[in-house]
Amino acid sequence: MIRTTFHRAQNFIAAGVLLALLLISCAATTPPPPDPAAVLQKTYEPGVLRGDLEYLWETLNEVHPDLYALTDREQLVRQYRQIDSSLTRPLTRVEFYLKIAPLISNIKDGHTYLSLPFHPDILAEMPSVLFPLDLAFIQEKTYILRDYTTTDSALVGAELLAINGEPIDRIIGDFSTFLQGETTSFIKKSLESDLFKIMYWMFYPEESLWWITYRTPDGREATEPISGITGNELVRLRTALGEMSRIAYALHILPEQQTAIMTVHTFRGPELKAFYRKAFRKIRRARVQHLIIDLRDNLGGNTANADELLSYLTETPLHPISVVRMKVSSQLKQYNRRYLSDIFLWARLYLFNTRFHQIFTHQNGTLVDINVNDAIQPKRKRLRFDGDVYVMTNGHSFSAGAYFPTFVKHYNLGCVVGSETGGLSGGSFGERISVALPTTNISLGISTIILKTKPLNQFSKHGVIPDFSIRRDISKEIHGVDSQLEQTLQIIGSHNITKGE
């Protein structure tokens, strides 16, 4: 039995139909909002679209610190030119997005992304229907995790083989070319969210009935039709299931097993330092010998918060980051001029923040290396944890969520369990800024820095590979059992593992 000793709840409003909420009407004098269907059906002339594409391409090259680090330069240039030459007829925002998204995807930088061409809330306001199944991608198979068309579905737990006669692997492959991410594990995990439903709607907006082919756990194959549901209905069902929020970070103690489970779903927020301090005091009082740090679905945040957590696990100073390489651009300067509204804050940043100072003292196009000499200092002995550490990861352990397990492994502070991280091992882009395409107004996020690690000074083209690869068990997950956590506890109970092995 898990006894909760400390937790902090925080609501997350995530992009996707999952959390779509209808806006409350304003005063009667406010003009009515535009019809969502009309917004999506509006077309743009080829010349306008080529202008937006040119702006996108020039801005990427001006702002990104190393646009071709993870891709082939000639291939990317050729792809840009092919898209430009294909813009010969008017397109809607969705059609234009489907043209240009593969270009951003091929950069393979998860911090450089193209936002969806509409706010997902729009789908909750429209009569269109969505694919009604939640999916789980486990190893090379696709499973049905939830069926929203009925409360007693025989489909749940079955392996999904095809939709309308098209193999599911081919569908996933097609969708993946439009999604931004650094690893296959990140993209597949992203499709487990409502992004699969949104992508399917963008490809086939008129479909409302799907023939699915599936294989039951006992090996029987069948094909049957399923009807879609509206975005509003999906929101209502999710709300009834209590899925509109999740815990940002929490600590659970298992006294009989001398084990603590620390969940950290984000490295964002100033409250994390206080959480760590309280949590490690409780861990020490409970005489915990095994600490599980759960970073699954941790999409990152501030690396300083990851460093703070590392400081509780080490006896010696750590130097995970040696250099931050930043590219100065007019867009980066414009982004940081927002601090001018507070002249005292501006002066403080300009005088005492090295990175901020460098932005405004170098010419546009300059690559600036900012040495990071400050080591992560270990906490005092009475606060440090000196037992066994297990860091749980998955495809949505990204950015700082991949940075942390990288250095747990490198400095032998513990072992990593679960599946490959969605963020790269050994280096990362970051500090993105956002710009909007001039006419279609689609948002583009672009990295402005590279975090270089020492001695891990090369980008790996894969995420952090776990010491213990743990496969999810769909037969347990459909009943709400965390199969990966269960297996991690079994590993702790059945192996004599020392720190770093």
In this predicted structure, the answer to whether residue 25 has a pLDDT above a threshold of 70 is no
Q: How far is CA 376 from the centre of its chain?
A: 26
| Local confidence band at 3 (pLDDT 50, 70, 90 cut-offs) | very low
Ranges 52-61, 212-221, 232-241, 425-434: which has the least confidence? 232-241
Query: Can you tell me the mean pLDDT for 351-366?
Result: 87
Sign of CA dihedral 66, 69, 71, 77: positive
Residue 245 has pLDDT above 80, yes or no: no
Q: What is the mean pLDDT of residues 347-356?
A: 80
What average pLDDT does the segment 339-347 reach? 81
Percent of the chain residues topping a pLDDT of 70? 89
pLDDT at residue 194, as a whole number: 86
- pLDDT confidence of residue 241: 72
Q: Which of 73-77, 203-207, 297-301 is predicted least confidently? A: 203-207
pTM, whole model, 2 decimals? 0.86
Q: For 1-5, 268-272, 411-415, which range has the lowest pLDDT when averaged over its residues?
A: 1-5
User: What confidence score (pLDDT) does residue 127 get?
Assistant: 74
In this prediction, residue 26 carries a pLDDT of: 33
The predicted structure's pLDDT at residue 21? 30
DSSP letter at 375?
A: P
pLDDT for the residue numbered 497: 53
pLDDT of amino acid 34: 62
**In the structure, what pLDDT confidence band is assigned to residue 153 with cuts at 50, 70 and 90?**
confident
Q: Is 219 exposed, middle or buried (0-12, 13-18, 19+ CB in 10 A)?
A: exposed
Domains and CATH numbers, the chain: 36-121 (3.30.750), 125-172+183-238 (2.30.42.10), 246-494 (3.90.226.10)
H-run or E-run covering 3: strand 3-10
pLDDT for residue 333 is more than 60: yes
Between 245 and 420, where is the model more confident? 420
Among 37-41, 75-79, 110-114, the least confident range: 37-41
Report the mean per-residue pLDDT for the chain.
Answer: 86
Q: Give yes or no for a contact between 423 and 401, defined as CB atoms under 8 angstroms apart.
A: yes
Alpha-carbon gap, residue 133 to 148, rounded angstroms: 6
State the pLDDT at residue 32. Answer: 60
- CB-based contacts of 399, cutoff 8 Å, min separation 6: 110, 111, 299, 300, 301, 423, 428, 430
On whether the CB atoms of residues 436 and 443 are closer than 8 A, the answer is yes
Which pLDDT does position 244 carry in this prediction? Answer: 52
Q: Which range in 244-248, 289-293, 368-372, 430-434 is most confidently predicted, on average pLDDT?
A: 289-293
| 298: CB partners within 8 A, 6+ apart | 264, 265, 266, 267, 396, 397, 398, 400, 401
- The pLDDT tens digits of the residues spanning 435-490 come to 999 999 999 999 999 887 654 456 677 899 999 999 899 999 999 899 999 999 99
Provide the pLDDT confidence category of residue 248 given band limits of 50, 70 and 90. confident
CA distance 142 to 155: 12
Which pLDDT score is estimated for 457? 52
Model confidence at 5: pLDDT above 50: no
Percent of the chain with pLDDT over 90: 63
pLDDT band at residue 339 using 50, 70 and 90 as cut-offs: confident
